[in-house]
Chains A and B, each alone.
Chain A
Amino acid sequence: MSAHGKHVEDLTHEQTHLPKNSGWRKVPAIGAVLAVAGIGGAFAMKGGQEQQFYFSYVTSLLFWLAIALGGYFFTLVQHASRAGWSIVVRRLAENVMVTLPVLGILALPIFLGIHDLFHWSHEEVVAEDPMLSWKQPYLNTGDFITRGVVYITVWTVVAVLFYGWSLRQDRASDPAPLAHKMRGFAPLGLVLFGLSVTFAAIDWVMSLDPHWFSTIFGVYYFAGIVVSIHAFLAIVVVLLQRAGALRGVVTQEHYHDIGKMMFAFSVFWAYIAYSQYMLYWYASIPEETYWFAYRGHGDWLVLSLLLVFGRFAIPFVLFMSRRWKRRASSLVFWAVWMLVGQYLDMYWLVQPVLAHEHGSDQIHFGLFDVLTFVGIGGAFLAAFGWALGRAPLVPMRDPRLEESLNFENF
């Protein structure tokens, strides 16, 4: 390490801990209130509009879940790849990851609303529909719930294990065994991640319209996950620095990297989305194209175009700039932009199904969307804020912390 470099021993308490009286300390409480108000309120009002409620709920859940799963992915990938640059933000990702148990519980209403959400869950519909009868060995209530519980369990177990190991490492006399353990299990965790996310996406999103299918669907949701976590990290880092923490720990160089990953994966998202769209458009087989067809009419067309330009084209041209990735304010701007894009994307995946069912091509963005978004987000932030406050903001004993502190882009 260069003699002028920063050293782990020199880190001050203020740099590595949430300030005592910062607003961040109130996040758990505020989050909890929002969660109760949002989810409770939406639940209370759902009478008569169950379907809309559940579709809104799934939209919001997918949005927040993508961030949380991103924390899972980010943390494990850094272990598996022996990354050095990211250590200073890895604890934040771990804190995001450890919200998974909470979001797992919040995913349970999907099972409650199964009849409102999923066509195929109605025996009488299935009986009349040869396609759905064919799919019944996979798309049936019992297996659907079992699978759902498996995904949630996998996420919870892996998240809690890795979070626990990382926290234990902070206090361990010798960080090596835990470091090796995390490295050793990370690839396994990533395999589980790949499988669980793919099938969760198929079950919870693709089967909303049970006739439609696409082999790339899991990858599509995955692309959104990676964009979301980097965007979220960017926002959190900058806000924490405004609050006084992490100054001099997370630098411009780390902003730049987070920005680059965000940029790269938004392009990756576009690539996957294009592959899916273009192949169906070109082959023009009705059983595949109808899914895009009803997203290409009325209001949905506007939303589709908004995704093409907002989620890909505009950030592609503008966020390419090196300077904008390295400045806190512009980084946050684009991070928020990306998250908005992610929400629109989830909305675009989920809600047209409902409109289509009712023969409408209009967007009804309503109270349920807002309430569930705020509610689930509140719960997520509460868990995240709680995790932020209870441990150092960086993994203090990670062997590569010093490397990360001194990290420089070339």
Chain B
Amino acid sequence: MPKRKKIYGLLAEFRNPADLYHACEKVRDAGYAAWDAYTPFPVHGLEQAMGLRRSVVPWIVAIMGFSGAGLGFLMQWWMSAVDYPLIISAKPYNSYPAFVPVTFELGILLGSFGAVFGMFALNRLPQLYHSLFNSDRFAKVTDDGFFIAIEARDPNYDPARTRALLEEAGAVAVEEVED
């Protein structure tokens, strides 16, 4: 007896960004939480249609950036003025005007790490396997496909009703995806 596969959810394809946008508004208003839109490029304003909040990446960057700069300055001060003070070209040990470049660079460096790795962490990337990759149709998401997937774990999920919602919202095709 073949084991019944677990269902990830419903995947619906839309024709263009506009249809997707309006469909997102409907799904949002229908109260779903575990769902997402999939697009080949960031569709402008879609986060409002989906009811998403602003990203927290800026906070990560700010914290990382300022601590990078702060630690960078402390490092230079400690190395040049505390641990091994040396007079060089008649400059004071703590030559803060000369420490600015490195302080700045380290601030930027850590800030950038914050931006990139913070983004990866928030997005749970890398994640080489995902249920949606089981759908052949889904390969188009990196070309010209616009999709919405509603997950089965969503409390509002109901195979029939959810499918109806998506179809009503203008889906070109709706399919069930295995987990």
Which A residues fall within an 8 A CB radius of B? 274, 277-278, 281-282, 284, 320, 322, 410
Chain A residues closer than 8 Å to B91, beta-carbon distance: 282
Q: Are A278 and B90 in contact (CB under 8 A)?
A: no
Least CB distance, A372 to chain B, in whole angstroms: 34
Chain A residues closer than 8 Å to B97, beta-carbon distance: 274, 277-278, 281-282
The 4 closest A-B pairs by CB, nearest first: A278-B97, A281-B97, A274-B100, A282-B98
CA distance A148 to B90 in the complex (A): 42
Least CB distance, A174 to chain B, in whole angstroms: 33
Q: Are A410 and B44 in contact (CB under 8 A)?
A: yes
Smallest CB gap from B90: residue in A? A284
Question: Number of contact residues on B: which range applies?
Answer: under 10
Q: A278-B98, A282-B97, A284-B90 are in contact. List 11 more A-B contacts (CB 8 A).
A: A274-B97, A274-B100, A277-B97, A278-B97, A278-B100, A281-B97, A282-B91, A282-B98, A320-B62, A322-B58, A410-B44
CA distance A320 to B65 in the complex (A): 13
Chain A residues closer than 8 Å to B100, beta-carbon distance: 274, 278
CA distance A410 to B62 in the complex (A): 20
Which B residues fall within an 8 A CB radius of A? 44, 58, 62, 90-91, 97-98, 100
Most buried by A among B44, B97, B98: B97
Q: Is the interface of A mostly helix, strand, loop or mixed?
A: helix
Least CB distance, B44 to chain A, in whole angstroms: 7
Smallest CB gap from A283: residue in B? B89
Smallest CB gap from A278: residue in B? B97
CA distance A282 to B98 in the complex (A): 8
Least CB distance, A312 to chain B, in whole angstroms: 12
Chain A residues closer than 8 Å to B58, beta-carbon distance: 322
Chain B residues closer than 8 Å to A322, beta-carbon distance: 58
Smallest CB gap from A282: residue in B? B98
Chain A residues closer than 8 Å to B90, beta-carbon distance: 284
Chain A residues closer than 8 Å to B44, beta-carbon distance: 410
CA distance A410 to B46 in the complex (A): 12
A-B contact pairs, 14 of them (CB 8 A): A274-B97, A274-B100, A277-B97, A278-B97, A278-B98, A278-B100, A281-B97, A282-B91, A282-B97, A282-B98, A284-B90, A320-B62, A322-B58, A410-B44
CA distance A410 to B47 in the complex (A): 12
Least CB distance, A323 to chain B, in whole angstroms: 10
Chain B residues closer than 8 Å to A284, beta-carbon distance: 90
CA distance A284 to B92 in the complex (A): 13
Smallest CB gap from B44: residue in A? A410
Chain B residues closer than 8 Å to A320, beta-carbon distance: 62
CA distance A326 to B47 in the complex (A): 19
Least CB distance, B14 to chain A, in whole angstroms: 20
Least CB distance, A327 to chain B, in whole angstroms: 16
CA distance A12 to B176 in the complex (A): 53
Least CB distance, A409 to chain B, in whole angstroms: 11
Least CB distance, A315 to chain B, in whole angstroms: 15
Least CB distance, A296 to chain B, in whole angstroms: 12
Least CB distance, A102 to chain B, in whole angstroms: 41
Least CB distance, A171 to chain B, in whole angstroms: 37
Smallest CB gap from A317: residue in B? B66
Least CB distance, B17 to chain A, in whole angstroms: 13
CA distance A318 to B177 in the complex (A): 48
CA distance A281 to B92 in the complex (A): 12
CA distance A195 to B136 in the complex (A): 63
Chain B residues closer than 8 Å to A274, beta-carbon distance: 97, 100
CA distance A281 to B99 in the complex (A): 13
Smallest CB gap from A284: residue in B? B90
